Structure 1
Amino acid sequence: MHAQKSINSERCLASRIDPTRNYTLSPSLSYFNVFQVSFTIKELREQFKIKEWDSKLEISDEDQKLLTESIPKLERKKKRLTEVLVKNIGVSVGPKQCHFLFHRVPQKIEADHDGKVRSVILKNTESGKTEVLPCGLLIYSLGYETLVLDGVPQNDKQMIDMRDHVRVETNLACPAQVYATGWCAHGPRGVIVDTQQQSIFVANQIAEDFANNRKSSARGVAALLEERKVPFISWDAWKQIDQQEREKGAKSGKIREKFTTFESFLVK
């Protein structure tokens, strides 16, 4: 089996503490733009309400304009999240600050003579400039790891080639359907609840495809039962029995009135 490994550093948290000034700076870095944040609204509100901390979203004027203009077009959940972001755009002040920075890609971690982290070298993908962020504590988070099985088609980004939202673009000569969900299908976006909801959607699509592509001519074990003269009831026949029991039960105010003998409904 061939595995394709893809790892992205989605976010890291750097902290700088100056004991002489009682000054703490904690930037949250992301190489995504502000439109791709994966926070929940609960997480954001709690962060912006922390006492004695000034947390701000630092974005360009262009991103701020686009973010503000997008609000009326968004669905309710995304709209509420975006409104919280817009409300907290600015520059942090005070002794304890938290900055949300975007378009930053960590390039290098520099250490001091004792081997402790001293700073992080960043590339600002929006301006193209290199930035040096003094740092005394670095917490990093790897984005995701996707394994693409040998034979599964890949696109130009070395990700699974999707035909639509749930199905992989397979060769027409292969009648089998291949499905994918979550980050392996669409890249790193959304939070856990989003991938959970997407997996349910994909499972429903699989069930729907299965139901629509069942061959009615396939008799399975029916031929063997007939050969051995074993009485049996087909699925379609059972549905007719079920309907008759419900209709019979409705006349006496019950959910159903079950048949009590096999012979009463068996058609030979």
Structure 2
Amino acid sequence: MKALVVLAISFLFLMPASGYVGREVFDSGNTPVSHNVMAEFNHTVEIAPGKDFYIHFSPSGIDCSNAAPYAGNLSQAAVAAVARSPVWVQREVAKQFQYLNDSYAELLLNAEKRYVDEIAFSIAYSPVGSAPPPDVLYDNARFIYENDRYLDYVKVLDVGNGSNYHSTLRYRVIENGTEMKVTCPPSIYYWFVVSPRATVENATYIYGKFWREYVFDHNDIGYPLLKEKLSGIKYMWDRESYRPPAHRTWNHSMSTHPTAIE
């Protein structure tokens, strides 16, 4: 876990907003976990094709009700956009499209396939009806892949095909001279890398730039360019603890810790 936290933070794309989608949507064959039964009920219902059936839990009891499918009253473009999204996020995307205009559907339909899961996730897990503008969502996904081209210690992996696909990160680490590759759980990738919010503020452009581009490609006078400092670094971590001495120079750090960034 300690390694994953270090990896996720260090990939440059910074932090997410709140919330979490569990890794179970990407895993299969998990060992069942034993739980204590708090209540139970029996109910028989026929669920017609394309229909949904809901069980609502509340302190006052359990309520069962029928409901229309999430995609039941969406536009043709929105339905097509949901179908192009990964299967694990389709329901949440469809729920959002109840409150969003078709510009978001057109974004999903026209984006490169490798960007679709990142865009769909960002739409699905934004506040209901308050997703960032489509151009922000597009740049958020695009600059993940653009920045990735300059980083040797990590690569974005696109996994799966059809509607069952996702992306994640694979890091290069070294231990006792042996190179190893570490694959990040997809849930960590989406929440801690893909999420378009770098802070508690809404995802938007500042002076015409999105933060993924600005942090990587721009530097203030007297400060190094992050792209130059990260380019050419082969390994994310050497799997050793590092406690630098006080009053050290960066030359000391670089000579004693091969994966240190100047």
- Report if TM-score (shorter chain) is over 0.5: no
Higher share of residues assigned helix = 2
Higher share of residues assigned strand = 1
